[in-house]
Amino acid sequence: MPEEEPEDSRVANFLSRNATFAETYKPAPLFTKLLANPPVHPRITIISCFDGRVDPRKFFGLQPGDAVLISNAGGRVNADALRSIIILDDLLVVGTVIVVHHTDCGLVHTSDESIRARLKGRAPEKAQEIEGMEFELFKDVHQSVRHDMGIVKVSPFLDVQVFGYIYDVTHGTVEEVKI
């Protein structure tokens, strides 16, 4: 049996903060109650990058319940993000999807080839599988927003308004992108 790894002090700190949070926690309504009394207005869903500098709650001044947030590498509208939006639309009706990418994104600073090389170093036995992997990287943030907005717009499974923005991590501003 492998030795247990020592607890990461950062994780221990998260757990300590959770204990403090739980002391005054007031639970949100159960999902079954939400489904029985759906909101009057269709939901807004925001897909953005998981980069810690990018927090739509802050730069759009959101309050709890204003929007559903989906985060992934680059804020890409990929198969999983689209699946999440479709499920949310089925449960609670999505009226608007906002795609947010940002300046100085890590996806601009790497390549499929460099990621594949690192993965092959970790799992050389999976080289063939790794060769087929796509990481949805981009070089032009305006084009990536337009591309992802287009994916939502042409989905036969959604009937939503789509907006796109680029968040500037240096200035805290958003720039609208149109298709």
Binding site for Zn(2+), by residue number, is: 49, 51, 102, 105
Which residues sit in the known binding site? 49, 51, 102, 105
Angle between helix 79-92 and 141-154 (nearest 10): 50
User: In terms of Cα–Cα distance, which of 92, 96, 64, 106 is closest to 165?
Assistant: 96
d(CA 2, CA 143): 48
Cβ-proximal residues to 138 (8 Å cutoff; 6+ apart), any chain: 74, 105, 107, 108, 144, 147
CA dihedral 86, 90, 96, 98 (to 10 degrees): -30
Residue type, 99: V
Q: Does the CA dihedral 130-49-47-28 come out positive or negative? A: positive
